[in-house]
Amino acid sequence: MTQHTSTEATAVADAEKKAQLNVNKLTKWLRHAVGDAINDFNMIEPGDKIMVCLSGGKDSYTMLDILLGLQKSAPIDFSIVAVNLDQKQPGFPEHVLPDYLKSAGVDYRIIEEDTYSIVKKLVPEGKTTCSLCSRLRRGILYRVADELGATKIALGHHREDILETLFLNMFYGGKLKAMPPKLVSDDGKHVVIRPLAYCREKDIVRYSEAKGFPIIPCNLCGSQPNLQRAVVGEMIEDWDKRFPGRIESMFRALQNVVPSHLADPKLYNFVGAKADGVARADGDKAFDRETFSEPNTINILASKPADAGGCGDH
């Protein structure tokens, strides 16, 4: 009996050790991916004050946690302030984020603005509320960034969010447009960054579970989930399972755009194209069909993690 108990205890200890090793590996991977995105896009500069938008979803918790970890080892000084906008949705657990942030020793602000009532009042029953809701939220966050003297606004969108946006724009918007890792805000006054741009959603899910973040449900507003986004999300997830490497390849495509092989005369001077006798590798190959090898998943995963934020992290 004693022998049996001690064998079980050893098995449990081994399993815990293995789990811890996996979390360490995942942490390293995510930090690496975030570090690469920060470097590639010059997201954080010395003296920056980063306003990390925290919704209480897995993505924003992960972003905050990874940024706090990087802050300790970064060769430059920057500060972080976590901001949550309490939109007064029914059942919003007000204590969860302050408790978590206090225990993590993070500088934070909770902003209370009853946008929920405004949206309910202005949007007719049955119509989608997200567009007004997110417009109001954006305005408030810009104002708060000004008040806090934040130089960057960090959002928790990840690789799949970016690809979803790309497909949504193609399917429904007639635009080749995704979600940039860094861009000046529409009012021209802020710089918005997405440090999780290279992170895979499935890694964020695993990290969030391993860390036990106190997740706040994202359906408190009662709005219907965005069906178009959900369908595109499922399509990407399905591809990821059936065709390993495809998602990585698609994301790399966003970083490897060839305007001369698209069809936008605003991006490339097709109108003025003239034969000048100079051979060019990227010229038109007329009748040649392009051939493609299957993505080499192993190489892709081992290389720079170009593969390495729904409502929750809007």
Work out the number of other CB atoms within 10 angstroms of the CB of residue 312.
18
Q: Cβ of residue 119: shortest distance to ligand SF4, in angstroms?
A: 6
Residue 199 among known ligand-binding residues: no
Q: What is the C-alpha to C-alpha distance for residues 147 and 190, in angstroms, rounded to an integer?
A: 12
CA–CA distances in Å: residue 30 to residues 27, 44, 90, 205, 308:
5, 17, 34, 12, 6
Residue 133 among known ligand-binding residues: yes
Residue 53 among known ligand-binding residues: no
User: Which residue lies nearer to ligand SF4 by CB, 149 or 225?
Assistant: 225
Q: Cβ of residue 157: shortest distance to ligand SF4, in angstroms?
A: 14
Q: Cβ of residue 185: shortest distance to ligand SF4, in angstroms?
A: 18
Q: Cβ of residue 183: shortest distance to ligand SF4, in angstroms?
A: 20
Q: Cβ of residue 205: shortest distance to ligand SF4, in angstroms?
A: 19
Q: Cβ of residue 64: shortest distance to ligand SF4, in angstroms?
A: 19
User: Which residue lies nearer to ligand SF4 by CB, 194 or 200?
Assistant: 194
User: Which residue lies nearer to ligand SF4 by CB, 70 or 130?
Assistant: 130
Q: What is the C-alpha to C-alpha distance for residues 68 and 85, in angstroms, rounded to an integer?
A: 20
Contact residues toward ligand SF4 (CB under 6 A) are 129-130, 133-134, 221, 223, 311, 314
Query: 3-state SS string over the chain?
Result: CHHHHHHHHHHHHHHHHHHHHHHHHHHHHHHHHHHHHHHHHCCCCCCCEEEEECCCCHHHHHHHHHHHHHHHHCCCCCEEEEEEEECCCCCCCCCHHHHHHHHHCCCEEEEECCHHHHHHHHCCCCCCCHHHHHHHHHHHHHHHHHHHCCCEEECCCCHHHHHHHHHHHHHHHCCCCCCCCEEECCCCCCEEECCCCCCCHHHHHHHHHHHCCCCCCCCCCCCCCCHHHHHHHHHHHHHHHHCCCHHHHHHHHHCCCCHHHCCCCCCCCCCCCCCCCCCCCCCCCCCCCCCCCCCCHHHHHHCCCCCCCCHHHC
Q: Cβ of residue 230: shortest distance to ligand SF4, in angstroms?
A: 12
Binding-site residues from annotation for [4Fe-4S] cluster: 130, 133, 221
Binding-site residues from annotation: 130, 133, 221
